[in-house]
Amino acid sequence: GQNIDQPTEMTATEGAIVQINCTYQTSGFNGLFWYQQHAGEAPTFLSYNVLDGLEEKGRFSSFLSRSKGYSYLLLKELQMKDSASYLCAVRDSNYQLIWGAGTKLIIKP
């Protein structure tokens, strides 16, 4: 079966750096997405990786290793507004999105 694993919850301190990992086992691979979802709000797109390596977007970076079935989202200079759930999703060989259960990130002052 197809599976996406990510930690259920993480806690970090304001101003620090946090890395949220995502491992996947899917039928084929056509890209990996990260979304941010604040409580009670819509998931919003953060990043897309299809080739190995690091993609940087301001304070957020996303890394992909296709051979290891692994990605991470790196958040730097954490702010209180970064408290949210972070969803990892992989597009499989049928171009369907397979979703992880999300990682709830709690930022403490």
> For residue 47, what are the CA distances in angstroms to 32, 36, 86, 109?
8, 10, 11, 26
Residue 84 binds to another protein (criterion: CB under 8 A): no
CA distance 109 to 107: 7
Q: Taking Cα atoms as reference points, which of 65, 39, 41, 33 lies closest to residue 52?
A: 65
Which of positions 32-71 make contact with another protein (CB under 8 A)? 33, 35, 40-45, 48, 50
Bridge-based pairing state of the strands 103-108 and 9-13: parallel
- Residue 30 or 61 with smaller CB distance to another protein: 30
The nearer residue to another protein, 16 or 50, going by C-beta atoms, is 50
In the complex, least distance from residue 13 CB atom to another protein, rounded to whole angstroms = 24
CB of 36 or CB of 109, closer to another protein: 36
Interface residues toward another protein, by CB under 8 A: 4, 8, 30-31, 33, 35, 40-45, 48, 50, 87, 89, 94-102
